[in-house]
């Protein structure tokens, strides 16, 4: 078939479909609009279904089909990846239909919508925190749900993202030579994620940061700051005595002790 003919046919079909939908939208027959919205939704043409559902919302409100229509209306946003509006509609569904058999599903989907909006590590993590909060609420409210495992895994993924964000911020302080800020930041990562696979690394970086801070300090401040290094070294050795960083931590402790011993002479 000639390419020009194909393009013409495609354009004709597009105009015809647009014209058909326009006629549906202008129709005064609510039942017809509802029927067509259902058809579009079933065919996964969510944008058209969404427009038609919204157009008959007020008329359908209070009818036996309103809950199901609201349910599909919310999902029509979700399937188009408009997660912000989907989350808001899922929230409204919970408020409008507190006795619905779909409550468990919608509670999960509301939390999952926040998860879908969780950004890259370097950006603001408000949605990540909100995901964790709502997923935990879901788990607490539905301990026997088949979705609990997925919710738990999502919480773990969110925690890993938050951990990575804090770690990168702390590492940046260290790389820029802001050693006291780095020590505090790594200490926060260590405290906030005590069960992390990298927990010993975070504590080790606390030792390194405080040592460099002491090393770069004025002489009159070095004694107290090297003493702080020793305290952190002892804390590390008590917590992580099998860590691969033990030898290095002992070196920092020895160097700090030698400084203190020499200043006493």
Tens of pLDDT, residues 146-169: 999 999 999 999 999 999 999 999
Dist. CA 171–CA 184, nearest whole Å: 11
Two tokens, residue 181 = 């800020």
- What pTM value is reported for the model? 0.84
Two tokens, residue 241 = 């005595």
pLDDT digit string, tens, across residues 73-128 = 999 999 999 999 999 999 999 999 999 999 999 999 999 999 999 999 999 999 99
Buried b (16+ CB within 10 A) or exposed e, 196-230: beebbbbbbbbbbbbbbbbeebeeeebeebbebbb
Cβ-contact 82, 116 below 8 angstroms: no
Distances (CA, A) of 223 to 26, 188, 201, 211, 246: 82, 24, 25, 11, 23
């Amino acid at each position: 078939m000639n390419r020009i003919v194909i393009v013409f046919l495609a354009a004709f079909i597009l105009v015809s479909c647009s014209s058909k939908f326009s006629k549906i939208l202008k129709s005064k027959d609510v039942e017809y609009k509802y029927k067509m919205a259902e058809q579009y939704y079933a065919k996964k043409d969510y944008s058209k279904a969404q427009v038609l559902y919204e157009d008959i919302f007020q008329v359908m409100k209070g009818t036996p089909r309103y809950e199901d229509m609201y349910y599909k209306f919310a999902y029509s946003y979700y399937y188009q990846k408009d997660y912000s509006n989907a989350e808001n509609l899922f929230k409204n569904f919970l408020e409008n239909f507190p006795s619905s058999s779909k409550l468990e599903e919608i509670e999960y989907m509301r939390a999952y919508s926040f998860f879908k909006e969780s950004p890259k590590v370097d950006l603001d993590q408000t949605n990540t925190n909100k995901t964790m909060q709502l997923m935990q609420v879901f788990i607490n409210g539905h301990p026997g749900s088949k979705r609990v495992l997925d919710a738990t895994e999502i919480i773990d993924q969110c925690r890993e993202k938050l951990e990575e964000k804090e770690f990168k911020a702390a590492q940046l302080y260290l790389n820029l030579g802001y050693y006291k800020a780095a020590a505090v930041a790594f200490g926060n990562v260590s405290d906030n994620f005590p069960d992390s696979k990298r927990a010993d690394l975070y504590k080790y970086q606390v030792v390194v940061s405080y040592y460099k801070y002491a090393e770069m300090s004025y002489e009159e401040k070095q004694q107290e700051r090297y003493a702080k290094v020793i305290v952190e070294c002892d804390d590390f050795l008590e917590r992580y005595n099998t860590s691969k960083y033990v030898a290095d931590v002992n070196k920092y402790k020895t160097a700090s002790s030698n400084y203190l011993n020499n200043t006493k002479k």
